[in-house]
Copies of this chain bind each other. A is one copy, B any other.
Amino acid sequence: MDPMEALVRSAVQAWTVQVERGEKRFGGLTDEQLLVSVAPGRNRLVYLWGHLIAVSDDMLPLLGLGERSYPELEAVFIRQPDRAMEQVPSQADLQRWWTDVHGRLAAGFATWAAQDWMGKHTRVSDDDFVANPLRNRLSVLLSRTSHMAYHLGQSALAS
């Protein structure tokens, strides 16, 4: 395998591991189980799941893979804290959104050559990218991988 290809595949694999863990954590829950908090007074599972979906959805435009599927999630799961939402989404809806967004990301990644990961993400200017070539698509993937792991660690505390 070409070394650069292997590097990129290692990073995509690290992302995929977290997505699979998210699926395992949230996929089989009931609507009631989603209302459990990870610790007293802290976020509920439903909020963490919605938050992860909203952040992944935003990776689509950030990486140049198209528009978001569910732009309305940003207001509820990123800009607002938990317990501010008027209506809690059902597990079935969240599951559908989760599957759709991560399917779109995986399909997009599958079309890229290793070199494409070194391209700039869409929220950095040409000048800033020249000054800091680490503001590339791969860095976005890596930071979102850590972000998902961070909240999965919290989600594991709810029982």
Contacts and interface: CB of A to CB of B under 8 A. Distances in A.
Given A6-B136, A7-B8, A152-B150, A39 B157 contact: yes
A125 interface: no
The copy count of this chain in the complex is: 2
Interface of A: 1, 3-4, 6-11, 13-14, 17-18, 38-40, 42, 114-115, 117-118, 133-134, 136, 138-139, 142-143, 145-147, 149-154, 156-157
Given A14-B139, A39-B40, 20 more contacts: A3-B114, A3-B115, A7-B11, A7-B114, A7-B117, A7-B138, A10-B136, A11-B11, A14-B142, A14-B143, A14-B146, A39-B42, A39-B157, A40-B40, A147-B149, A149-B149, A149-B150, A149-B153, A150-B153, A153-B154
